[in-house]
Amino acid sequence: MTSVVKVTRRGQTTIPREIREKYGIKEGDDLIISDEYGKIVLKHIPKLEDLAGIDSGFGKIAEMKKEVDRMRESY
């Protein structure tokens, strides 16, 4: 997806709606902007509350606790 955007005299621009919707970017969200190999890269930082339950498909709570305990013992 390619879009042409303008930069205002204050250095601001608008992220096209299609891209905001695709990546779930909403007003007030934070983005990381970096210069990578001569390209400007924007990365969306998801809010912590949006990550709740993200790993729920990886196992049951009891299994996860056992794994954490096992990892702690190895240190």
Domain that holds residue 60: 17-74
Q: What's the pLDDT band for 75 if we cut at 50, 70, 90?
A: confident
Instruction: Express each pLDDT in 5-60 by its tens digit.
Output: 999 999 999 999 999 999 989 999 999 999 999 999 999 987 777 767 766 777 77
What token pair was written down for 9?
């005299």
CB of 13 within 8 A of CB of 7?
yes
Domain for residue 9, yes or no?
A: no
Q: What is the pTM of this model?
A: 0.59
Amino acid, single-letter form, for residue 58: F
Give the count of domains, the chain. 1
pLDDT for the residue numbered 4: 93
Residue 10 lies in a domain: no
pLDDT at 58: 72
For residue 11, the model assigns a pLDDT of 95
Task: Quote the CA–CA distance of 74 and 68 in Å, as a whole number.
Answer: 10
- The reply to whether 5 falls in a domain is no
